Amino acid sequence: MEEGKLKRADVRPVELIDTKNPEHGDFACNFAMMSAKAFGCAPRMIADPLAAKMAEDPIFSSVSVAGPGFINMSIDPGAIAGLIGDVLDSEGSSPMEAGHFGHTKAEDAKRINVEFVSVNPNGPITIGSGRGAAYGSALCNVLQAAGNDVHREYYINDGVNSEQMRLFAESVKAMADGNPLPEGGYKGDYVDEVAKQISHKGGEPVDWWQQQAQELMLAAQHSALTAFGVEFDTWFSEQSLHDSNQVEACINQMVEQAVADEDPVQHEWKAEAEAATGAYAESAIPPASKTAEFGLISQEQENTNSLWLRSTKFGDEKDRVLRRQDGRLTYIASDVAYHKDKFNRPVNADKLITVLGPDHHGYIGRLQAVVAALFRDGADTKENNEKALALAKERLEVQIFQLVRFMKDGKPSPMRKRDGNIYALIDLINEIGEQIKPDGSTAEKQEVGKDVARFFYLMRSHDTTFDFDLDLARSQSDENPVFYVQYAHARICSVIAKAAEAKITPAVNTALLTHPREKALMIKILDLPHETARCAEDYSVNRLATYAIELGRTYHHFYDVCRVIQPDEPELSQARLALCVAAKTALKGVFDILGISAPERMDRAPAEEKD
């Protein structure tokens, strides 16, 4: 491979393998093995110089190459004493704040606007949207912990021209008046509840009902998201873009820049016709039978004044209608103005991240085309359009989360109520909380329900489907990963309290921490900032859920063989207590990022305490 031609995608992920054998070192690195093909050489040709360079770092007590190219490493406990001290110094702070050992300051720190959830205000936050809520909020925490300035945003689809919102208002009005629902109308307990809450005199127009219904539905959504531990810096109204004439201004600008026009014939087809005939002519307009093949409007619409965004110029699969032939604007018209607004606020965003559900794959090209249309500089040329698209892909990223399948008794469980109503996220939170804390207060039930639901949503990569095991989620044992990791934190709190009674204070002395399980715990604690940085690069928040489980497991293993409170060995007790405090700080830090609580005591312990 030519020097300088190696791409990130050519290098396969590095794995650190716990050797389980002190003679082989603490870890083995497979970088040379995994990347040899990309470099076009034998693994040892990579491993030998890399190991020699690593051996210069005082954090390693030894580095060697074994077999075909594994790099074995042993960590010097004394070299990480200062790092453990940094962990202790950050106790009580959050990794989203500078000063916490899990907080890093990226060299290319950005101002990032993350928009997520953003469901229409015509229904509750569903269990499907719950995955996007958990992922979006945890992603914001990860990006902030990695040193970025993050703005959390909810886009309210409340445009008065929305057919869905108008139908919702008509449905609420019909229920309030005791009339039959309109064709295709919304139904369910939540619609009836909204209708009951609206006080009216009769004769109010549908627009009035839409405003009243939206406000009540938004309040319900806000309450459910708050119970789920999700907060936003901005709830942005789509209608505000229309009220301030920003939508119309953007449309006029795009027409002036030849990004939008009223020509009903798709430009993609024009190019193909020109290639086939040598010139574009009226005679080349395809018959009606060809319109579907080329993604064109029908011949009956050829002479309408619909306004089209020529998004195919910017990589989209087809052009998009901005204004229908009856004058009504489409959602994409608001999208253009909304993205322009986000890029031109007093505190500009360097990057936009939009989190969308599994049925929105087609939106990726559309939204990138919208941003490209805003960024194009200069004439309507292929070169300028390609530059604009490249910039749009750099400045806007769309993350799609996949479906969740809920399982009960080992079988798929349809998550709908018996009466056919939508099963809302708040229902899931309350159901789990009621099962685990039947005697708790409403707040206590929702706290534990929130913790379990969030952690389960975040355990798997957002871009893969996964099974949500309801039986496991509602269990109170160490088989439940949430209780397993939270109990590690509670166990540490118990040890710290007993040490305080024995008047033992923590003191960093890693020279005394020579047991393999002590060393393994130190290494795992110190990996938090690196794991967070890796998540911030590829948005794989599930890695931190895995890290929390591994850290909890590592602490439990340490606790099982390394007694902390030993009056006859005060210095060792102090050193191990310091390690406990550091583990507690790391656990609390990863819990903060994931958005779950860190209980100091738990009613049920998976194992009997020793200290």
d(C-alpha 422, C-alpha 403), whole Å? 16
Q: Is the pLDDT of residue 287 over 50?
A: no
Residue tagged 């080992």 (tokens): 410
> Which whole number is the average pLDDT over 173-191?
91
Beta-sheet pairing, 70-75 with 411-412: unpaired
Specify the higher pLDDT residue, 292 or 503.
503
d(C-alpha 263, C-alpha 187), whole Å? 40
Bridge partners for 150 per DSSP: 112
**Three-state DSSP state, 464:** coil
Percent of the chain with pLDDT over 70: 86
pLDDT value of residue 265: 54
d(C-alpha 506, C-alpha 526), whole Å? 18
117 conformational bin, left if phi > 0, alpha if psi -120 to 50, beta if neither:
left
Please provide the CATH number assigned to the domain covering 113-233+402-475: 3.40.50.620
- Of residues 569, 567, 572, the one with CA closest to residue 502: 567
Q: Is the pLDDT of residue 447 over 90?
A: yes
Bridge partners for 112 per DSSP: 150, 351
Specify the higher pLDDT residue, 60 or 11.
60
CA angle 349–352–355, rounded 5-degree value: 145
* pTM attached to this predicted model: 0.85
Across the chain, mean pLDDT equals: 85
pLDDT value of residue 410: 84
Question: 340-358 pLDDT, tens per residue?
Answer: 999 998 888 899 999 999 9
Provide the pLDDT confidence category of residue 24 given band limits of 50, 70 and 90: low
- Enumerate the domain spans of the chain: 8-75, 79-104+478-594, 113-233+402-475, 244-262+305-357
CA 533 to chain CA centroid, Å, is 14
Q: Is the pLDDT of residue 388 over 50?
A: yes
Question: 498-557 pLDDT, tens per residue?
Answer: 999 999 999 998 889 888 899 889 999 999 999 999 999 999 999 999 999 999 999 999
d(C-alpha 428, C-alpha 450), whole Å? 9
Dihedral sign (CA 604, 607, 610, 611): negative
Most confidently modeled range among 70-79, 190-199, 415-424, 585-594: 585-594
**Contact present, 468 and 404 (Cβ < 8 Å):** yes
> Which whole number is the average pLDDT over 376-402?
94
Here the tokens at position 123 are 């229904």
Question: 127-175 pLDDT, tens per residue?
Answer: 999 999 999 999 999 999 999 999 999 999 988 778 889 999 999 999 9
Architecture of domain 8-75: 2-Layer Sandwich (3.30)
- Of residues 101, 103, 80, the one with CA closest to residue 90: 101
Q: Which region among 194-208, 272-286, 306-320, 568-582 has the lowest average model confidence (pLDDT)?
A: 272-286
pLDDT value of residue 22: 52
Provide the pLDDT confidence category of residue 21 given band limits of 50, 70 and 90: low
**Contact present, 195 and 176 (Cβ < 8 Å):** yes
Same fold, 79-104+478-594 and 113-233+402-475: no
**Contact present, 596 and 451 (Cβ < 8 Å):** yes
Sheet of 320-323, strands arranged across = 260-261, 307-309, 320-323
CATH topology of domain 79-104+478-594: Isoleucyl-tRNA Synthetase; Domain 1 (1.10.730)
Residue tagged 């027409």 (tokens): 255
Specify the higher pLDDT residue, 98 or 608.
98
Q: Is the pLDDT of residue 299 over 50?
A: no
Which DSSP category does 359 fall into? T
